[in-house]
């Protein structure tokens, strides 16, 4: 599935002027009629006691094999710290050092905290559960050895594996979803892996909904949470994926307050998302075109999201992510602007 892109270049392509019907400084209706709020500098009425991290995905380090090289881990860690973040996620396996002492040393020399590691597993395929558990444990044990019990094992469906889901990301219909039986398999796999990770590493698990996988839409997120054990599986709310998947992230905060244990702050550009639906782009083409833009340039209502987190007493990590493909955009400069955006709201 990943071969659908990269042939047209790796630069970030903003939407054409003809599609920019909504100036970014105005409040506008987002896709499917939900309101957007793109105002910079609006505070949230008091402190939200969180720490702010970034992740290698903002530098084009992905779990997909896209056939292009990327930056070194040393340069990414240097730039994460240099742009004002105090934590990082692990990135794709093998990007950061796989030896715990080396990993710990690289993090400590930059005063960075390891906050989580992303593990995609084809959870709706029962045959993939055993290998998925091994991979999750490999990641969890590395993080535990390097950083103790604080990092999250961030479990997700194996995104990009299903052609139908990848090609229809951002416009999923009920017909694209799983049967009841496969939902039971998916949820059982998530519980199994989370239980093994907790028992063998002491780390806790959150589930990351993701466009291009079988848990994308708000209805699918609801279904996943209803079928999994809340003692084992929390929610990693990703505001950009939730928005591109048709939901209102601020509503997700209210709806799932009891399960949100990790947060990825990501924006979604309404014009790119609309064009993706109209022209039938697949997930990777949408990413290449910049559907996940800098914070404050899309339609995610971050003041409402952050205020909701404050009201629920959230005190975990905020991980800024701007998913880009290898070689795309200007990651360091984007990271600086994203950090400044949060600082303008007192974060």
In this predicted structure, what is the pLDDT of residue 62? 80
In this predicted structure, what is the pLDDT of residue 46? 62
CB of 83 closer than 8 Å to CB of 322? no
pTM score over 0.85: yes
- How many CB atoms within 10 Å of residue 65? 9
pLDDT tens digits for 17-39? Answer: 233 333 333 333 333 444 444 44
In this predicted structure, what is the pLDDT of residue 230? 98
Tell me the average confidence (pLDDT) per consecutive run of 10 residues in the chain, 347 residues long: 38 36 34 43 65 96 64 96 98 95 98 98 98 98 97 95 96 97 98 98 98 98 98 98 98 97 98 98 95 97 96 96 88 98 94
Name which CATH class applies to 41-344.
alpha beta
Q: How far apart are CA 297 and CA 141, in angstroms?
A: 38
What are the tokens at 216?
């994308």
Sheet of 113-121: strand order equals: 51-53, 317-320, 260-265, 233-238, 204-208, 152-157, 113-121, 87-89
Averaged confidence pLDDT in the chain: 88
In this predicted structure, what is the pLDDT of residue 31? 38
- φ/ψ region of 314 (left if φ > 0, alpha if ψ in -120 to 50, else beta) reads beta
In this predicted structure, what is the pLDDT of residue 327? 81
């Amino acid at each position: 599935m990943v071969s659908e892109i990269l042939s047209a270049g790796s630069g970030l392509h903003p939407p054409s002027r003809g599609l920019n019907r909504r100036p970014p400084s105005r409040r506008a209706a987002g896709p499917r009629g939900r309101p957007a709020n793109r105002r910079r500098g609006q505070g949230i009425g008091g402190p939200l006691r969180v720490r702010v991290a970034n992740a290698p995905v903002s530098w084009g380090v992905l779990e997909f094999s896209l056939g292009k090289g990327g930056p070194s881990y040393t340069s990414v860690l240097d730039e994460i710290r240099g742009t004002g973040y105090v934590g990082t996620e692990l990135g794709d396996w093998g990007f950061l050092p796989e030896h715990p002492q080396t990993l710990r040393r690289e993090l400590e020399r930059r005063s960075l905290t390891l906050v989580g590691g992303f593990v995609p597993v084809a959870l709706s395929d029962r045959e993939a559960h055993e290998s998925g558990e091994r991979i999750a444990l490999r990641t969890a044990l590395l993080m535990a050895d390097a950083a103790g019990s604080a990092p999250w094992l961030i479990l997700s469906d194996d995104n990009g594996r299903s052609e139908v889901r990848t090609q229809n990301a951002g416009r999923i219909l009920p017909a694209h979803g799983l049967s009841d039986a496969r939902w039971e398999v998916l949820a059982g796999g998530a519980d199994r892996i989370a239980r093994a990770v907790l028992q063998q590493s002491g780390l806790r698990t959150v589930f990351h909904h993701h466009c291009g996988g079988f848990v994308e839409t708000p209805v699918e997120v609801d279904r996943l949470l209803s079928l999994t054990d809340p003692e084992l599986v929390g929610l990693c709310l990703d505001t950009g994926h939730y928005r591109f998947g048709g939901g209102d992230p601020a509503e997700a905060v209210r709806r799932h307050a009891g399960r949100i244990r990790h947060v990825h702050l990501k924006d979604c550009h309404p014009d790119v998302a609309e064009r993706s639906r109209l022209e039938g782009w697949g997930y990777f083409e949408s990413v290449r075109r910049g559907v996940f833009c800098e914070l404050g340039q899309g339609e995610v209502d971050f003041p409402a999201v952050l205020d909701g987190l404050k009201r629920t007493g959230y005190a975990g990590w905020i991980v800024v992510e701007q998913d880009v493909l290898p070689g795309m955009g200007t990651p360091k400069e984007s990271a600086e602007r994203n950090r400044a955006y949060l600082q303008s709201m007192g974060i």
